[in-house]
Amino acid sequence: MTAPSPLETAAAADVPTELTDGYHLVVDALKMNDVDTIYGVVGIPITDLARLAQAQGIRYIGFRHESNAGHAAAAAGYLNKKPGVALTVSAPGFLNGLVALANATTNCFPMVQISGSSERHLVDLKQGDYEEMDQLAAAQPFVKAAYRVSRVEDIGRGIARALRTAISGRPGGVYLDIPAAVLGAIMPAADGAKTLSRLVDPAPRQLPAPEAVDRAIELLAGAERPLVVLGKGAAYAQADDRVREFIESTGIPYVPMSMAKGLLPDDHPQSAATARSLALKKADVVMLIGARLNWLLGHGRTGWNPDAKFIQIDIDSKEIDSNQPIAAPLVGDIDSVLEALADRTKPGRITAPSAWREELGARSAQNVAKMAVRLEADPHPMQFMGALKAVRDVVRARPETYIVNEGANALDIARNVIDMHVPRHRLDSGTWGVMGIGMGYAIAAAVESGAPVIAVEGDSAFGFSGIEIETICRYNLPVITVIMNNGGVYRGDDVNPYDDAPSPTTLMGAARHDLLIEAFGGKGYRATTPAEVTVALTEALASGGPALIDCVIDPSAGTESGHISHLNPKGITVGNITAAKK
């Protein structure tokens, strides 16, 4: 091979080299790994990143607040079983998004938050740069992992690591910091393309040990009062057929946690949801599938049979024994564990004694009858029960509808009244019980599925993310927001005994939430009776567009903190303070 002549070398030098930059490499890396939607709020230094993503075919959904965008990304991760992506600006925008990222980590939802940041040499010397903050250090305590890309040639690797970390093992939130200088850095396009990679098997199967499976089978086979608890991890796993097969083949009664409702229909004959207290109190062997013995289950202590033995399916071995000794740990992904149980169990070995099923069935029937009486009542002013029964009855004819639910009483009562028949169609406040997820989750459900969404909101909870009804209208999403408006946090009849200022729990009783959405072009309804709720919701679903129904509820309806009032510390009461001052 002969060397090029000086003339050929000079001609080659005149050919311009195609260039790329950090913005393009971020978008290319995301597309290469099948990210098709970004939720975010633009500003310095990531506005052009959103524009480029949109131009390259990635759907960008722009929000009014980063926390809501983050909640949407988290919900998308849960629904799709792949990381949802949120995009924020630096410092305050990053911190706003961090609330949702921390919540995603707590709920085990795969999510990646990408934030622009200030220049490292200025941040590290604390020289007062625009929105200066060490965002990586701030994120570390609240996420599954946090990474920073310091060189443009590392963008592809950073995206790949963030996505893999978010979805592998126990899913969670991952923070990816990209300084402005890296986004704007330029390099040859051919060299940049070599730095990108597509993930291979980012969430590999994790098989349980055979001896662990046999131990669980032996424990279940000897149970007199076995019980299965289905958590939202079981819904996330999308092992729906295996869950149903295990439940139905064994005959074991089950209790679904709120976001596991619909894995099997709520009216399934083995559901013990309406006899939950009795089931927990008397079960002698309890199998946890994608559920944790945290505060939502009384840490496995309060309300439980003290002699109960636990079997736990969890992908993270560190979760085992976190609250109670686990007699039979099954460490692995839910699909693989249930497959192994089916393969190693002899037909008929695991059964639920008929006496146990009949006892739970009798209690369920008793409780359902009591609830039916309450639901049939039609007091005036309207109560939570009446408004939510109307929602339930309309949704029963539209099982494809997603339900998003938050609040105190609005959450507690809705999860008991609105039954679900389809997996992953109920999203709510989750493990932290955090308020503010409503509009973000609703937007994600509509964007990712195209199906209608009903967000059942307490009036207080709605206030955390209510401005996103503008986002709903801007994108013309099929989201109907139903507000339980009793004029207060918990209830609207609290009184400040000292002066004319509203009490700490008082909201504006005459608020017209229905007028808010009309300002943005949506349809508003005001309902004072269950019949009016039915008419409004039926019409709104038929229209397929954005709507809001303001349900006027009795101000005295509701209880302090809903069903978790026992968590309020018992100190000196306001009444005692008043008496002491006299």
pLDDT, tens digit (0-9, with 9 covering 90-100), for 334-343 = 999 999 999 9
Average pLDDT, the chain: 94
- Residue 108 clears pLDDT 60, i.e. is over it: yes
Q: Please, what's the b/e burial string for 94-109 (b: 16 or more CB within 10 A of its CB; e: otherwise)? A: bbbbbbbbbbbbbbbb
Instruction: Measure Cα distances from 480 to 241, 268, 451, 562 in Å.
Output: 31, 28, 11, 24
pLDDT band per the 50, 70, 90 thresholds, residue 320: very high
* pLDDT score, position 581: 43
151-155, 241-245, 448-452, 487-491: least confident range: 487-491
Q: Please, what's the b/e burial string for 156-172 (b: 16 or more CB within 10 A of its CB; e: otherwise)? A: bbbbbbbbbbbbbbbbb
- Residue 517 clears pLDDT 90, i.e. is over it: yes
* pLDDT score, position 560: 86
Amino acid occupying residue 573: T
- Residue 427 clears pLDDT 80, i.e. is over it: yes
- Residue 479 clears pLDDT 70, i.e. is over it: yes
- The SS3 assignment for 522 reads coil
Q: Which two tokens stand for residue 524?
A: 């508003």
Amino acid occupying residue 287: M
Which are the contacts of 406, defined by CB distance < 8 A and separation ≥ 6?
A: 428, 429, 435, 436, 437, 438, 456, 457, 458, 461
Rg (CA), the chain: 27
- Rounded to 5°, the CA angle 161-39-32 comes to 40
pLDDT band per the 50, 70, 90 thresholds, residue 7: very low
- The SS3 assignment for 547 reads strand
For the beta sheet containing 226-230, the strands, ordered from the edge strand earlier in sequence to the opposite edge, are 254-256, 226-230, 285-289, 309-314, 326-331
pLDDT band per the 50, 70, 90 thresholds, residue 285: very high
* pLDDT score, position 580: 44
pLDDT band per the 50, 70, 90 thresholds, residue 579: very low
Note if the pTM is more than 0.85.
yes
Residues 12-48: tens digit of each pLDDT: 556 678 999 999 999 999 999 999 999 999 999 999 9
- Residue 237 clears pLDDT 70, i.e. is over it: yes
- Residue 422 clears pLDDT 80, i.e. is over it: yes
- Residue 10 clears pLDDT 50, i.e. is over it: no
* pLDDT score, position 4: 62
* pLDDT score, position 15: 60
Q: Which two tokens stand for residue 574?
A: 């306001």
Percent of the chain, pLDDT > 70?
96
Give yes or no for a contact between 253 and 287, defined as CB atoms under 8 angstroms apart. no
- Residue 9 clears pLDDT 90, i.e. is over it: no
Residues 137-177: tens digit of each pLDDT: 999 999 999 999 999 999 999 999 999 999 999 999 999 99
pLDDT band per the 50, 70, 90 thresholds, residue 567: confident
Residues 357-390: tens digit of each pLDDT: 999 999 999 999 999 999 988 889 999 999 999 9
* pLDDT score, position 561: 82
Distance of CA 401 to the CA centre of its chain: 17
* Angstrom distance (rounded) from CA 65 to CA 48: 18
Instruction: Specify the pairing of strand 19-21 against strand 186-188.
Output: antiparallel
From the number of C-beta atoms within 10 Å of its C-beta (0-12, 13-18, 19+), residue 141 rates as exposed
**In the predicted model, what is the mean pLDDT of residues 525-554?**
97
